[in-house]
A and B are shown apart, each in its own frame.
Chain A
Amino acid sequence: MTDLGNVALWIAFLIGLWGSVVGFVAGRTKRQDLARSAEHAMFALWALLVVAAAGLMHALLTHDFNVEFVAAYTSRNLPVFYTWSAFYGGQKGSLLFWALVTSTFGSAALLVNRGRYKELTPYVASTVAIVVTFFIGTMVFAANPFERLGYTPVDGRGLNPQLQNPGMVFHPPMLYLGYTSIVVPFAFAVAALISGKLDTGWLHAIRKWTLLSWLFLSCGIILGMWWAYVELGWGGYWAWDPVENASFLPWLTMSAFLHSVMIQEKRGMLKRWNFGLVIGSFLLSIFGTFLTRSGVISSVHAFSQSNVGWFFLVFLGLAAVAGFGLLAYRWPALEAEAKLESMVSREAAFLFNNLILIVIAFAIFWLTLFPVISEAVRGTKVTVGPPAFNLVNVPLGLLLLLLTGIGPLIAWRRASVGNLKRQFLWPTAAMLVVAAALLAVRMSYGYSIVAYALAAFVVGTVLQEFWRGTGARHRLHAEPYPLAFVRLVGRNRRRYGGYVVHLGIVMLFCAFAGLAFKKDTEVTLKPGQSVDVRSPYGEDFRITHQGVSQYQILNRYVTAATVDVSKDGKYIGTMRSEKRQYLDSMGRPTFEPATAVAIRSNMMEDLYVVFAGSVQGTEEAVYKIVINPLVWWVWYGGMVLAFGGLITLWPGAQGPTPASRRRAEPAGYVARVDG
């Protein structure tokens, strides 16, 4: 089974080469038989990669330690659940996973669009085949997961304990799904550019795909934050680490695209920009892999570094030249159909939204690469800390939040004074009330006050939209309010799903703004001793050290420290934080000890207790105690955001609106009813 996987990989490489070439030729010659062959090559690629993945899974599950990858990442006592994480926990397996998922998306895109976009699909097949073949080539020539050792070890090395966490089972695949699914929009963009079919056809074909990859990326990033928060034990969830930034960059460019595409659909503007964003997002997703794999930038969670990085760098260069080269070639044909008419218009709001998202991406890119750039230019490596990232991104983020409120309310083309008054009165009132309230309670941090006031503004705009839309349906169709509400959302999924996403974003911003009030203490306690910590809300927590216990469970030796927690003099519970020394199947320690954090979470704040170690084997314990306000809102904001994305994605009758009707459509549903 394992060797079958290896053979499948080699055959897939050859088929991938065939598909790459034949798709291109089919597109040029418009020969149907060749186009079909390219399509079949993609399906065959997928099937072969499934066989290869099954082969590797088989080797992992049967503990075939003769296979180097299996010996390196699993052991006999690894819980079966985590065998799945081992699949992509190592680089070679992750390449296979990547290729498999990419070919799955490629096949799905060809299936869904069968009989449509005939000029485009052969090139799409070819482009996806090239990307998949690159990954397979990297495997068979540099990092083959089926490589065998000259002997069979008795047991494997085991999986890194930090990867033995439920968050790690879902976070990497989610992120990979996000990265890889960008290949479909990229392939359609390339196809449109090569074929010269530059109308909005390619945009319609990829509308759902871009949303899908955006959704995967969002979920992947938030799951990664959750993993870092509960597993790494430093008390935060985002540290502007290069690997984190790498996943954030394509998210930013995709978010920009999801907005700018609306301008192209409505007004025929930003055509070049949209091509650029799709090409750029794809390049950034490859760049993310390169950054993670190459070790160019030292990251605390550099998962694995190897020469495979250079494969990626070369591929990245070629893809950039090809993508932007094609765009330059078609540049004159991509003239905008309309001009920006007024700064007080939805177009302008969206333009600024795009500008800011891209500037944020650029700033993060630059600061992340600064060590490399400074070394190249000045000969010394200079690193930049998180404060620099915050300095730039906090004001930009707040500006973006403001635009999140303005964008949906302002009219297309040119907003009238009446439009502004009608749309902005209540949201602005909400904003002012919140700002006044926060000033009244003397909130100390200016940026946070601005953030919460703007959050109120955006929530105000979203609620107003739902309220007016539902009311209009109620009056017009005589539907009861609940039905009117459901139909409103159901018939305009993209719009109202988008609003729900905005609510999720607001929740995230509220959580980030709470970070300013984080409290951090380090303390050494004997059993019975306690420490008092005051939360930003003025609650008094008393944490009393109970003692340290040691025992063995499953594949680890645990040292656990227990504290009793009381709030304002009232006992509220016990918390236990652990140091875990993982053991191999012969009972010897493997890897460095890992920390299990104790977290008590509610909507207001998290109490986050880390047992940092005991003093010379006694029961005297060192603790790190963090009060983290509003962390709850990150996870639930993430869920709301994902829910909004799902509403928008949900398949339904919402076909592409004919261009003629779209042009005539006024600003919004409400305007239509009122008029």
Chain B
Amino acid sequence: MRARTKFIIGGLLILGSVGYLMASGIKDTGEYYLTPTELAAKIQADHSFYDVGVKMGARVVKGSITRDVASQTITFRATDGVHTYPIVYHGLAPDTFTDDVDVVVEGRLEPDGVFHATTLLAKCASRYEAVPPPTAAQAAKMGAAGRSAS
């Protein structure tokens, strides 16, 4: 057998096993990434979807966060404007987790309608991107506040 043929066979073996590993990796760790509305639609269509772990991206409802530090439990509600789900999470929340931020929760929606999250990622939309600087009127007010404070 020529070396070139051998190399091609070796290469195909590597490619094949990588393909297999990727497929099983996707199968094992792949998760639906849904909005609350999409999740509601999936559940509506197929109740067995309660058993499937999903990722949900939504925004934290202002004022809905309650923290029980002793048991390290955080409960809050998250919404996409149409559907809202209550969420329970055990563990440490990231620094950026506050009212009105976008979060990605990973976990499972229970039949009682509560989303049990195992991971909680917060991403503040304004975190790296600039918010529009204050308008002239606000700026004037800020200036006044600054002066009175000093």
Contacts and interface: CB of A to CB of B under 8 A. Distances in A.
A367 B14 contact: no
Contact of A156 (B31, B123, B127, B133): B133
Interface string B20-33: 01101110111111
Given A302-B128, A359-B15, A359-B18, A150 B34 contact: no
B130 interface: yes
Interface stretch (B58-66, B80-88, B108-116, B141-149): B141-149
B124 to A, nearest CB: 6
Contacts of A333: none
B40 interface: no
Contacts of A367: 22, 25-26
B32 A382 contact: yes
A155 B143 CA distance: 9
A585 B143 CA distance: 11
Name the residue in B69, B121, B130 with the highest tally of chain A Cβ atoms < 10 Å from its Cβ: B130
Contacts of B14: 352, 355-356, 359, 399
Contacts of A304: 128-129
Nearest to A580: B95
Contacts of B145: 586
B133 A149 contact: yes
Interface string A372-393: 0010000011111111110110
A586 B18 contact: no
A370 B124 contact: no
A151 B135 contact: yes
Interface string B87-104: 000011001101001001
B31 A154 contact: no
A592 B127 contact: yes
Interface string A147-167: 001111111110010000000
Contacts of B69: 524, 613, 615-616, 620, 622
Highest count of chain B CB atoms <10 Å: which of A342, A343, A399 = A343
A595 interface: yes
Interface in A297-315: 298, 300-306
Which range holds the interface residue count of chain B? 35 or more
B47 interface: no
Contact of A342 (B3, B72, B104, B121): B3
A366 B130 contact: no
B143 A154 contact: yes
A298 B35 CA distance: 13
A595 B97 CA distance: 13
A522 B26 contact: no
A8 interface: no
Task: Please classify how large the interface on chain A is, using the bins under 10, 10 to 19, 20 to 34, 35 or more.
Answer: 35 or more
Q: Which of B17, B30, B123 has most A Cβ within 10 Å?
A: B30
A586 B143 CA distance: 9
A612 B10 CA distance: 50
Given A305-B129, A592-B127, A348 B146 contact: no
A539 B30 CA distance: 37
A478 to B, nearest CB: 42
Given A153-B139, A359-B14, A615-B70, A384 B133 contact: no
Most buried by B among A149, A387, A592: A592
A343 B95 contact: no
Given A359-B15, A391-B25, A160 B139 contact: no
Given A154-B146, A155-B142, A300-B123, A396 B95 contact: no
Interface in A119-171: 149-157, 160
A300 B34 CA distance: 17
A298 B135 contact: no
A518 interface: no
A387 B28 contact: yes
A591 interface: yes
B79 to A, nearest CB: 17
A160 B131 CA distance: 12
A666 interface: no
A586 B129 contact: no
A339 B4 contact: yes
Contact of A154 (B7, B17, B139): B139
Contact of B26 (A339, A341, A388): A388
B133 A72 contact: yes
B7 A340 contact: yes
A77 to B, nearest CB: 12
A317 interface: no
B107 interface: no
Nearest to A391: B25
A383 B55 CA distance: 8
A298 B128 contact: no
Contacts of A73: 130
List 9 A-B pairs, minimum CB-CB distance, nearest first: A388-B25, A72-B130, A385-B29, A151-B136, A381-B33, A71-B133, A615-B69, A391-B25, A340-B3
Given A90-B130, A363-B22, 15 more contacts: A151-B136, A154-B143, A157-B130, A301-B128, A340-B4, A343-B6, A351-B7, A352-B10, A355-B11, A359-B15, A384-B26, A388-B29, A391-B22, A392-B21, A615-B69
19 contacts: A71-B133, A72-B133, A151-B139, A153-B134, A153-B142, A154-B142, A154-B146, A304-B128, A343-B3, A367-B22, A382-B32, A383-B55, A384-B29, A385-B29, A388-B30, A392-B22, A524-B70, A586-B142, A624-B92
